[in-house]
Amino acid sequence: MLPGAIRRGLAEPKNGPPAKASGSRPNIIFILADDMGFSDLGCYGSEIDTPNIDALAKGGLQFTEFHNSPRCCPSRAALMSGLYSHQAGMGLMTADYGRYPYPAYRGDLSQSCVTIAEALKPAGYNTLMVGKWHLTPLTVGQHNYPLQRGFNHYYGIINGAASYFDPASLTRDNTPIEVHKDQHDYYLTDALGDNAVQYIEAAARGDQPFFLYAAFTAGHWPLMAPEETIAKYKDRYSGGWDKLRAERHAKQLALGIVQERWGITERDPRVPAWELASYHEWEMRRMAVYAAQIDKLDQNVGKIVSKLRQLNILDNTMICFMSDNGGNFEELRRIPPDKPRPAYMPYRTKEGKDVVPGNDPSIMPGPATTYASYGIPWGNTSNTPFRLYKHYAHEGGISTPFFVHWPQGLKNGGLSHVIGHEIDVMPTCLDVAGATYPTTTKAGVAPPPLPGKSLVPVLEGGTLPERSLFWEHEGNCAVREGKWKLVSRFPDAWELYDMEQDRTEMHDIADNHVDRVRKMAEDYGKWAKYVGAQPWPMPETPERERAGAMPSPPYLQHDRNPEG
């Protein structure tokens, strides 16, 4: 049973002396992976070595139907605010700042919402963060940096991506910093883990419980990892993506993560059978580097757990883990040396060597001199057994590993098939912390009501009431109501799925349930109006973003026509 007043919904605010870190109120650690697919952890079907994360999941409550938002900025805004991303001003990306006149697409975290840190700090929590922020543009000042949104200390990158060996936008608290050229062993995932451990150790000496948001950048591109970690996976992917998807699916079935009746989706139609692929060594290397990135993530989660155990505070620390969106199909293009690059993409390493960006089969990724992604074939594999990817509202884009580990507070362990969403994280944190949702924001107005539900009843062995959940990003839309899901990939029509029978979304039954489609589409329209979601494309949307097309990159075009 959970401690004290937190057993039933939101507790009364705590205005007295703060509890000690080892007291009745738990420490809270929220660990976020980046662009990691549903099947990329051992406990969700992967062959990647993730023993530390797997042990946490096995010792906690592991969700099979937890959902995020389809992309980085929207997902982080929803997670931090407890609101749908549009309500937090992040229907799109920070790169869209200044483009759209609609509050839902401002591209800068709204001052009219409250972050988890802003809610927990008045309740007596020491608020700490390491990792990727990605909730404000670098060009508009520090008004929305972590310290300005409720965190006491911060180490990480403000931007959405960076070299793992020499990250741009690296910041400590509010001060931009750089990796010294003599720091030859610097690796961002390790640095985030090390700083997290230091924050935990300092916090444990104090009189407050702590909230740590550890937003790792692994396994977001660029594909970079230490060579000794990549070597572990050198030959692991020689069987190719078809074999790997089948192996992962079989393991998921054995674990009870998915149902046999759902089946597994077909390979992305742009991707050839492995035997027909043109660049086996390059493809194996791409996935090996990605696996190494997830491996390094696991190693650093292990550091955090070891420190908690050493300090004797693991049992009353609630650890939550998830990914910000589904696996990534984005293909990085070649950029000539004399052409401008995004701010996150360096021209040279810190040692002065040229960086060659883009997915080029003649260049093996991994070192700091490259800047590549693992692309469509392996993104498809990451999301086994689901359809599509990051950006989209089909299950491949919005299904995430999620678990809660909390020995002292969990009554219920094992697998949970309760349908959850990242908007549930804020009310859960408030609930277990005995904190109340603030009535005033930085803008001086009341924040919107929280649309999510506390997961405390689920942690106690119960369930959640049936509710409607919604998604929209770049015109990719979805509604979930009970077992029914209405979904559309822009610019296609609505599709309807019975998720109890067909969570892999392979059998569209919209034509058989016209009234249900109409009703759920109306529900979506009401929600879109409430949160400010606009029809896509908007008048201001650049031409290159309007089509919703999914083109094949040059290397896959070569697979189709190797003589061409």
Q: In what order do the strands lie in the sheet with 414-421?
A: 175-176, 170-172, 153-157, 126-132, 210-215, 27-33, 317-323, 399-405, 61-67, 414-421
- Annotation marks residue 43 as catalytic: no
Catalytic, out of 43, 67, 72, 429? 72
CA gap 495, 478 in Å, rounded: 9
CA gap 419, 480 in Å, rounded: 10
Instruction: List all residues 6 or more positions away from 311 whose beta carbon is below 8 Å from its beta carbon.
Output: 200, 201, 204
CA gap 298, 304 in Å, rounded: 10
Residues in the chain: 564
User: For residues 72 and 321, is the Cβ–Cβ distance under 8 A?
Assistant: no
For residue 169, give the nearest of 123, 137, 213, 200 by alpha carbon.
137
Helix (H) or strand (E) holding 275: none
Tell me the Cα Rg of the chain: 22
Q: Give how far Cα 542 sits from Cα of 38, 99, 138, 334, Å.
A: 31, 9, 21, 21
Residue 397, preceding peptide bond in cis (omega within 30° of 0): no
Q: Which sign, positive or negative, has the C-alpha torsion 217, 219, 224, 229? A: positive
User: For residues 434 and 6, is the Cβ–Cβ distance under 8 A?
Assistant: yes
Q: Give how far Cα 209 sits from Cα of 18, 216, 492, Å.
A: 8, 22, 48
User: For residues 73 and 90, is the Cβ–Cβ distance under 8 A?
Assistant: yes
Q: What count of Cα atoms within 13 Å lies in the side-chain half-sphere of residue 521?
A: 12
* Phi, psi angle pair for 40, to nearest 5°: -90, 0
3-state secondary structure of 555: helix
Instruction: List all residues 6 or more positions away from 428 whose beta carbon is below 8 Å from its beta carbon.
Output: 320, 454, 455, 456
Q: Write out the two tokens for 62.
A: 């592991």
- Annotation marks residue 477 as catalytic: no
- Which residues are paired to 356 by β-bridges? 370
* Phi, psi angle pair for 481, to nearest 5°: -135, 105
Instruction: List all residues 6 or more positions away from 223 whose beta carbon is below 8 Å from its beta carbon.
Output: 286, 289, 290, 293, 365, 366, 370, 372, 373, 374
Write the DSSP string, 293-346: HHHHHHHHHHHHHHHHHHTT-STTEEEEEEESSS-----PPP--TTS---TTS-
Catalytic, out of 134, 153, 249, 394? 134
Indicate which residues carry an active-site annotation: 72, 134
